[in-house]
Amino acid sequence: MKKNNMLTQLATVEAYTEGPAIDIEGNIYFTILAAGSIMKLDNNREVTTWAKSAYPNGQIILSNGDHLICDGKLSKVVRFSPEGIFIRDESHQTCANIKVNSPNDLLMDEHGNLFFTDSIRYDGVVFYISSNGVEHAIATSLDFPNGIALSNDGKKLFVAESFKNRIISIDLEQGISSQMKYEVFIDLPLNKSGNLVDNLPDGIAINKKGLMAVAHYGMGSVHIVDSDGKLISTHDVEMKLSSNVYFLDDNTLIVTGGFSEEGEGGVFKLTLKI
């Protein structure tokens, strides 16, 4: 069921946006892949270039204010200081003895363990680097793994498998290892266009109530899914290419994306009626 919500456009930029993240002061950060830019949207809605990288995509902000950013051209996760200064490579061009192609999205758990997706067709991987440097390819042969999120209890890892139009879950309770088993959490709705590229789940996020938001690239929408994998609602946004989501609170999302393949990008605030 589609619902109308309070949708506020916070910014328009020259190209498709990704990687929303919020610092403790309420500043919103997002990436512009094509421009190689990490942008800052402050509380006065002024947009500035905060840092540069080759092809920045997914982004998180750590408790110390550092940013970790997936860079698709560098084939690495990179770390920046709170001032936007490059610190170091957080990962390398191989992980668990496997070539890293195009890191897309990432998370770090409470123990400092890093998970990130490598987005390629058919042979995509979910990588893991522990806080003491142990590496695993915990899922392989995925068809463009994309957004990634952790359940609130830390027991399940969720990954958007874009070209299968679904979210999968990986049980972490038995410990981390290579080639872990996964199951389908939810198969998402199909776009009436019939085009494969109009059915690509992208970024995902989970709020404190355990509800998952899914940016559905090509559908111009955000889905809300409960903890049992049931679709609750679908919320329209003004960008056909909705790319990623970030929960400001349990009912408010920051949504990034683009209006068309070659056109402008935007950042929206979506207040949900769930």
What's the number of domains the chain is made of?
Answer: 1
Q: What is the pLDDT of residue 197?
A: 87
How many degrees, rounded to 5, is the angle at CA 136 between CA 135 and CA 140? 145
- CB atoms under 10 Å from CB of 192, counted, come to 8
Supply the CATH number for residue 59's domain. Answer: 2.120.10.30
By the 8 A CB rule, do 60 and 112 touch? no
The domain in which residue 183 lies consists of 2-271
The three-state secondary structure class of 132 is coil
State residue 274's pLDDT score: 67
Beta strand 86-89 with 76-80 is antiparallel
Contacts by 81-84, CB closer than 8 A, 24 or more apart: 82/23, 84/38, 84/50, 84/51
What pLDDT does residue 2 have? 45
Buried b (16+ CB within 10 A) or exposed e, 64-81: eeebbbbbbebbbbbbbe
Decide: helix, strand or coil at residue 203.
strand
Q: State the Cα–Cα distance between residues 40 and 31, nearest whole angstrom.
A: 9
Q: What is the pLDDT of residue 194?
A: 83
Tens of pLDDT along 186-238? 999 998 888 888 999 999 999 999 999 999 999 999 999 999 999 999 999 99
The pTM assigned to this predicted structure is 0.96
Confidence at residue 3, expressed as pLDDT on a 0 to 100 scale: 47
Low-confidence ranges of the chain (pLDDT < 70): 1-5, 274
Q: H or E segment at 115?
A: strand 114-118
Write the pLDDT tens digit of every residue in 135-163.
Answer: 999 999 999 999 999 999 999 999 999 99
pLDDT score recorded for residue 5: 64
